[in-house]
């Protein structure tokens, strides 16, 4: 049996990947603060196990509790493979360094960087004494490689996520575990995150008009197209451990 644990499956890219997994007959565990009822309806229709667990990924205590429980119950079933899609993310705070408030900074780094590290750690540890292999996918951004003014926190969190991915991949390789960890840059998508970007005050975001134009000119990709491309990579048999996949390369 194969399982997919998907953070941020309540909407956007996470919802799209969860739907594709259910279509493929892969059991889904969705983790976010709110539940998307359409996933449980699809799971019933396809007769595939599905569960939603509420978790605020900005709180490390909740991460430890929820993901340790998931790992405990999944490994009891001795699954062949567990996919972990660390997709949940937030772009805020959109503000220049010097004008940042402490709480949004901490929350961003917790959700975008610390949560994926803690989750991978829990599952790699649990997999040590099992026949189960893990494929962890960290959803990153082009902003992890390219600075965008007023996104210093988001850019830093995604840059950190890329480096965690590459380092942990080398470790799993050296340990000979068979586990893999990759990152995926989804490009610009028509989701709630882009709405948040477009609603940033002009005074704090120099590139506001560029992002408004992406929407006006129809340049934002549909999350379903991107989710299917990601699913094709992870369900295929040629995943390259440590690779940072880019949607623009995949859809060429
Ligand atoms: N949209 C883009 O153009 C774009 C571009 C590059 C990279 N990305 C990356 O793609 C991923 C998905 O983005 P998206 O556009 O689909 O975003 P989205 O529509 O804003 O959805 C974000 C998801 O993350 C979850 N989330 C946020 N904060 C959370 C928290 N504290 N605890 C638990 N879950 C939380 C949300 O669930 P709840 O609110 O229900 O908790 C939601 O399901 C992100 O990692 C993002 O950085 C997006």
Give 62-77 pLDDT, tens digit per residue.
999 999 999 999 999 9
Distance of CA 191 to the CA centre of its chain: 14
Confidence of residue 252 (pLDDT cuts 50, 70, 90): confident
Residues noted as catalytic: 154
Taking only the tens place, the pLDDT of each residue in 12-57 is 999 999 999 999 999 999 999 999 999 999 999 999 999 999 999 9
CA distance 146 to 223: 22
The answer to whether residue 199 is domain-embedded is: no
Whole-number pLDDT of residue 31: 98
Q: Which atom of ligand 1 is nearest to the CA of 36?
A: 40
Q: Say how many Å lie between the CA of residue 90 and the centre of ligand 1.
A: 5
Q: Whose CA is nearest to atom 17 of ligand 1?
A: 193
Per-residue pLDDT band for 99 (boundaries 50, 70, 90) equals very high
- Give the tens place of pLDDT for each residue, 195-206: 999 999 999 999
Does residue 131 fall inside a structural domain?
yes
Tell me the CATH number at 96. 3.40.50.720
Task: Work out how many domains the chain is built from and give that number.
Answer: 1
Please tell me whether the overall predicted TM-score, pTM, comes out greater than 0.95 for this model. Answer: yes
Q: How far is the CA of 15 from the centre of ligand 1 (A)?
A: 10
**Which range marks the domain in which residue 169 is found?**
2-188+222-250
Q: Is residue 198 part of a domain?
A: no
C-alpha 131 to ligand 1 mean position (Å): 32
Q: Is residue 208 part of a domain?
A: no
Tens digits of per-residue pLDDT, 110-164? 999 999 999 999 999 999 989 999 999 999 999 999 999 999 999 999 999 999 9
Q: What tokens does 80 get?
A: 């062949």
User: Is residue 209 in some structural domain?
Assistant: no
């Amino acid at each position: 049996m194969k399982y997919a644990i998907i953070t941020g499956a309540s909407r956007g890219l996470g919802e799209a990947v969860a739907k594709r997994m259910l279509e493929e007959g892969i059991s889904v565990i969705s983790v976010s603060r709110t539940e998307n009822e359409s996933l449980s309806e699809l799971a019933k229709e396809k007769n595939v196990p599905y569960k939603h667990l509420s978790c605020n990924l900005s709180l490390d205590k909740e991460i430890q509790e929820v993901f340790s429980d998931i790992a405990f119950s999944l490994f009891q079933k001795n699954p062949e493979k567990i996919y972990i899609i660390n997709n949940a993310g937030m772009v805020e705070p959109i503000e220049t360094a010097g004008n940042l408030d402490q709480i949004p900074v901490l929350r961003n780094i917790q959700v975008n960087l610390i949560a994926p590290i803690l989750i991978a750690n829990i599952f790699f540890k649990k997999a040590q004494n099992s026949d189960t292999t893990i494929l962890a996918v960290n959803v990153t951004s082009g902003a992890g490689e390219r600075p965008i003014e007023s996104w210093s926190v988001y850019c830093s969190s995604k840059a950190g996520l890329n480096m965690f991915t590459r380092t942990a991949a080398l470790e799993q390789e050296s340990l000979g575990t068979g586990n893999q960890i990759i990152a995926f840059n989804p490009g610009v998508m028509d989701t709630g995150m882009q709405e948040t970007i477009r609603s940033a005050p002009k005074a704090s975001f120099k590139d506001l008009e560029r992002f408004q134009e992406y929407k006006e000119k129809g340049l934002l990709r549909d999350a379903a197209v991107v989710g299917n491309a990601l699913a094709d990579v992870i369900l295929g048999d040629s995943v390259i451990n440590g690779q940072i996949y880019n949607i623009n390369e995949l859809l060429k």
